[in-house]
């Protein structure tokens, strides 16, 4: 396996924006190149296809190809034509070449394919050919793979790497993940847990993560199966929502099977505190009179609840009086960040006088 050196990395949003620029074929030009997104497991490489669909719209067919599961006959087959007594190639219906529309094709886990299949996928990446059939002009092809050093079966040869564009994908930080999670129905307690434990979004490639027992680490066998990642944390959501009906003990076992035992235990302890929280409606009704929780985790969860529940300027102004009673500006900044990065609340926050005043006095924490 060739050793790859990376200058830096890109976010998921940045990747979705630059893939069409690099990859789309253009009439009279041969400058396209196939981007390959590389990351550790569970970072969100496959989500780029949905992001591009939102951006590019209905001009494309969006095609997901699970490369390791595909056989030769899934891509193309040579069939005898008895009338002409010649062999003709039939292309798999997966690629929808019968309608003439441009294609946006994601080749998932492209470097896990068998050697025989590698020839077909290499031609698709380099020449924009499915077998012997060209893709429509303007089509986009890109791939995903795990980092070779992560030990999960990806095999990239040096001559392959030199013909594509290798893009290292960043893990989202806690702010980015919590913002996305808030827009996708993730429980408040799970989002607050991630905000209170930002190292759960760290990468083993970062410095100083040798003792981080929460995340994927290819050098430690116990952290290569069940571990906390952006993907696995989202998969916890159903268990978190149904924890009361499951029972806390059973729920912790389930969570351990998704994000590993250390993260499951920490999340369980965090959720035990949820029943002690002051309801947002009660705070809005009496922001300067309700008891201020001493536990930072409780305050964090209350702020996430407020981000979900606040609907009006009056409610926001009232809740800001409670926020200003917190004795740490860094803690107050969590509420500001969540309000300003949430699509539903950003306009509400941007026009709120209490938020404007807080921003003026505390800009250094943003």
The answer, as to whether pTM is greater than 0.75, is yes
Alpha-carbon distance of 56 to 47, in angstroms, equals 14
Beta-bridge partners for 197: none
Which region holds residue 286: left if phi is over 0, alpha if psi is between -120 and 50, else beta? beta
Short-list 306, 304, 337, CA closest to 173: 337
Q: Which residue in this structure is represented by tokens 């830096």? A: 8
Short-list 84, 50, 47, CA closest to 170: 47
3-state secondary structure of 167: strand
Which range has the top average pLDDT, 117-126, 161-170, 318-327? 318-327
Quote the radius of gyration of the chain (alpha carbons, Å).
25
The answer on pLDDT for 274 being more than 90 is: no
Cβ neighbours for 142, distance < 8 A, ≥ 6 positions apart: 19, 23, 34, 35, 36, 37, 48, 105, 106, 107
The answer to whether residues 266 and 228 touch, using CB atoms and an 8 Å cutoff, is no
Alpha-carbon distance of 301 to 62, in angstroms, equals 38
The answer on pLDDT for 6 being more than 60 is: no
262 or 3: which leads in pLDDT: 262
The answer on pLDDT for 4 being more than 60 is: no
The answer to whether residues 163 and 118 touch, using CB atoms and an 8 Å cutoff, is no
pLDDT in tens, 106-159: 999 998 888 778 888 888 999 999 988 999 999 999 999 988 766 655 566 666
Alpha-carbon distance of 193 to 297, in angstroms, equals 8
Alpha-carbon distance of 297 to 203, in angstroms, equals 23
Cβ neighbours for 286, distance < 8 A, ≥ 6 positions apart: none
pLDDT in tens, 33-85: 999 999 999 999 999 999 999 999 999 999 999 999 888 888 888 888 888 88
């Amino acid at each position: 396996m060739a050793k790859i050196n990376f200058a830096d990395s890109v976010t998921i949003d940045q990747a979705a924006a630059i893939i069409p620029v690099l990859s789309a074929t253009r009439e009279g030009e041969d400058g396209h190149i196939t981007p390959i997104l590389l990351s550790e497991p569970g970072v969100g490489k496959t989500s780029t296809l949905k992001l591009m669909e939102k951006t590019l719209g209905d001009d494309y067919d969006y095609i997901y190809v699970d490369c390791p599961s595909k056989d030769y006959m899934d891509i193309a087959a040579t069939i005898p034509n008895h009338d002409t007594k010649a062999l003709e190639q039939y292309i798999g219906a997966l690629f929808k070449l019968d309608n003439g529309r441009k294609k946006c094709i994601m080749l998932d886990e492209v470097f896990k394919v068998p050697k025989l299949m590698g020839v077909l996928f290499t031609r698709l990446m380099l020449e924009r050919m499915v077998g012997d059939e060209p893709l429509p002009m303007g089509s986009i092809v890109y791939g995903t793979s795990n980092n070779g050093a992560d030990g999960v079966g990806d095999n990239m040869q040096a001559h392959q790497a030199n013909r594509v564009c290798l893009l290292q994908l960043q893990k989202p930080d806690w702010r980015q993940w919590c913002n996305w999670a808030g827009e996708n129905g993730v429980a408040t307690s799970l989002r607050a847990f991630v905000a209170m434990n930002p190292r759960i979004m760290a990468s083993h490639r970062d410095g100083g993560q040798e003792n981080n027992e929460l995340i994927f680490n290819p050098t430690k066998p116990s952290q290569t199966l069940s571990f906390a990642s952006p993907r696995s944390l989202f998969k916890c959501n159903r268990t978190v929502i149904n924890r009361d009906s499951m029972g806390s003990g059973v729920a912790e076992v389930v969570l351990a099977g998704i994000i590993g035992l250390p993260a499951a235990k920490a999340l369980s302890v965090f959720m035990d505190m949820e029943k002690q929280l002051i309801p947002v409606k009660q705070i809005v009704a009496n922001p300067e009179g309700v008891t201020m929780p001493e536990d930072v985790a409780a305050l964090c969860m209350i702020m996430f609840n407020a981000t979900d529940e606040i609907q009006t300027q009056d409610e926001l102004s009232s809740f800001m009086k409670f926020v200003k009673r917190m004795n740490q500006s860094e803690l107050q900044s969590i509420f500001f960040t969540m309000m300003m990065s949430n699509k539903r609340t950003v306009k509400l926050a941007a026009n709120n006088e209490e938020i404007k005043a807080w921003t003026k006095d505390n800009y250094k924490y943003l």
